[in-house]
Structure 1
Amino acid sequence: MDFGLKGKRALVLGASRGLGAASVILLAEEGADVIAASRSGALPAGLPDSLKDRVSVIKLDLSDAGSVSDVIAFLGETPVDILVNNCGGPAAGPAKGQSVEAWIAAFNAMATPIFAITDKALEAMTDKGWGRVVTIGSSGIVSPIPNLALSNGVRGAIAGWSKTLASEVAASGITVNMVLPGRIATDRLAELDAGKAKKSGQSVEEVKAASRATIPAARYGKPEEFGAVVTFLCSEQASFITGSMIRVDGGMIKGM
C-alpha cells in the first residue's frame, strides 16, 4: 500500500533513538523527507544507509527555550506537512510530595514546547489544506503508571490539548492524533526496568518477566511496530482519523 507520503516533509522530535528514531525510519521508508530533531543533532539510531539521503538533522532541546525558539524560526523558513511530537519523560517518583517547581519544570520541558512548535507548524499546514500532527504519549494517560506521577500528569494535559486541537483544525484538512506506547523495547524502558530492579532488589530479568506477564502478547513491543502506527496516521489513508488515541501495547491496558 502506498501511503501517499512521497514529497511530504516531516519533522520528528526526539528522533535520535527509541520511538522517535523508529518513526523517522518508517516515514523515510514511505518516501517522506524527514527532519530529525534531537538534543544531539545526530542521525537516528539504526537508520539504514539507503535512507540517509531522505533524513536531515537539527538540534532541539525541549527544556531550553532558546533551542525551541530556534526550531520555531526554522519552521518559518522550512514548513512541514507532518509533525511527530515526542518528548522524553521526567524522573520517576510519586504524586505525593512533588514540589511545585518539579511540576512546572516537567510541564515546561514536555508540554509547553510541543504546543508552541505545533502552533508554528500549523500555519503552513493550514495554508496547504493538508497536515498531520501525531503526538507520542504513554499508556499512563489511560491507566496511570505507578511511580511516574509527573509523566502521568503532564501527558494527561497533552492529551486534553491534542483532543481539543483536533476539533479546531479538522476542517482545514489537518488530523491530530496520539499514539500511546505500552512496553516497547527502547532505551527508556530499559532504564525504567533497571531502576525498578534496583529499588525492589530483584534482578532486571525478574522485573522484565513480571512486566511481560501483564501483557497478553507476552512480550515487549518492537520500536518498528510502534513506528508503523505513527506512519499510518500520517498517511493519506488516515485522513478521516482525528482526535484519536491509539494504543500500541500488546493488549496490556484492560480498559475499554
Structure 2
Amino acid sequence: MDFQLENKNALILASSQGLGKAIAEELVKEGSNVMLVGRYEEKLVKAQEELQKLGLGKVVYTVTDLTKLEDIQALVKKTVDEFGSIDILINNAGGPPAGTFADMSDEHWQQSFELNLLSYIRTIRESLPYLKQKGGRIVNIASSSIKEPIQGLILSNTFRTAIVGLAKTLSVELAPDNILINTVGPGRIATERIQYLDEVTAEKKGITQEQLSQQLLKNIPLGRYGEPEEFAKFVTFLVSGANTYLTGQSYLVDGGMVKSI
C-alpha cells in the first residue's frame, strides 16, 4: 500500500520519546519531514540523530513548553520556516499526575488543562492555515480512558474525554477543507508513562511491579503489553494518503483490553 507520505511535513508534539517518537520514526521511514518537539534539548538531539538515519525525510527539533502560547506560536512558525507548510499534526502530551479527586488541588487541575487540552486547542488553531492548504491530517493522542475511565487517573479521565468532544466537533467544521481529524487512545503500551503508572499502582498496592504486570496482563486478551511501533503504525495510516474517509472517530490500540462497545 502506498501511504503517499513522501515529502509530507509533520509536526509531532511530545516526540523526544515514547509514542510521539515512535510515530516520528514511522513517518520518517515513509519519507516525511518531521518536526520533533519536547522540553529537554538533550533528548531531542538524541532522537534527531537516531531518526535522521532511518529515511529520506528531514528531521529537526524545537524545544517547547506546550503550556505557553508564545512557545506554540514560535513552534508552528519554525515548522513552516523549515518545511514550507504543515500537512500532518500529531497532538500529544505527557500524561497528568495519577491520583483521586481528593488528591487534586486547583493547581493540578489548571496544569493538566493547560498541558493536556489547551495545548491541543492552541496547536490546532495555529496550524490550521497551513493544514487547509492541501487537506491536512490531525491525530490527537489520548488514552484508553476515552472509552472506559481508569481508576486513580481522574485528571486523565477528564481531559482525555474532552479531546474526543473537540475532535468530533472539528471533524464537521473542518470537513469542507478536507481536513481529517481523529483521536487514538493507547492501552497498555510499553512506554515510560506506563512504567511510571505501574510504579505508582504497585506501591499503593504493596506489591512488586512484576506482580502487578501479571495481574494486568490477565485483562488483555492478547496477553502482553503493546509495543510503541504497533501504536505508531496505526497512527501512520490515519495521517496517510491511504486514509481518505475516516474522520471524527475515536480508536483504541489496546490489545482488546477495554471491553466497552
Structure-1 residue corresponding to 2:90: 84
Separation of aligned partners in 1, 2:78 and 2:170 = 22
2:60 to 40, 56, 62: 56
Structure-1 residue corresponding to 2:114: 108
Deviation at 1:66, TM superposition (A): 3.5
| TM-score, normalised relative to structure 2 | 0.92
1:93 aligns to 2:96 (yes or no):
no
Structure-1 residue corresponding to 2:173: 168
Structure 1: gaps (5+ residues): none
Q: Does the CA-based 8 Å contact 2:187-2:253 persist in structure 1?
A: yes
Question: Residue 60 of structure 2 aligns to a residue in which SS?
Answer: strand
Q: Which amino acid aligns with 1:147?
A: G
Structure-2 residue corresponding to 1:205: 210
Question: Residue 26 of structure 1 aligns to a residue in which SS?
Answer: helix
Deviation at 1:2, TM superposition (A): 1.4
Deviation at 1:68, TM superposition (A): 2.3
Separation of aligned partners in 1, 2:73 and 2:127 = 13
Question: Residue 101 of structure 1 aligns to a residue in which SS?
Answer: helix
Separation of aligned partners in 2, 1:50 and 1:142 = 35
Separation of aligned partners in 2, 1:53 and 1:166 = 28
Structure-2 residue corresponding to 1:34: 34
Task: Decide whether aligned partners of structure 1 residues 176 and 53 sit closer, same or farther in structure 2, where only a CA change above 3 A counts.
Answer: closer
Question: Residue 251 of structure 2 aligns to a residue in which SS?
Answer: strand
Matched length: 255
Q: Give the aligned CA root-mean-square deviation in angstroms.
A: 1.7
1:185 aligns to 2:190 (yes or no):
yes
Q: Percent same amino acid at aligned positions? A: 38
| TM-score, normalised relative to structure 1 | 0.94
Q: Does the CA-based 8 Å contact 2:22-2:229 persist in structure 1?
A: yes
Q: Does the CA-based 8 Å contact 2:15-2:37 persist in structure 1?
A: yes
1:245 to 247, 250, 259: 250
Separation of aligned partners in 2, 1:88 and 1:101 = 17
Question: Residue 145 of structure 1 aligns to a residue in which SS?
Answer: coil
Greater mean alpha carbon deviation, residues 69-78 or residues 30-39: 69-78
Structure 2: gaps (5+ residues): none
Deviation at 1:39, TM superposition (A): 1.0
Q: Does the CA-based 8 Å contact 2:31-2:57 persist in structure 1?
A: no
Deviation at 1:53, TM superposition (A): 5.6
Greater mean alpha carbon deviation, residues 70-79 or residues 223-232: 70-79
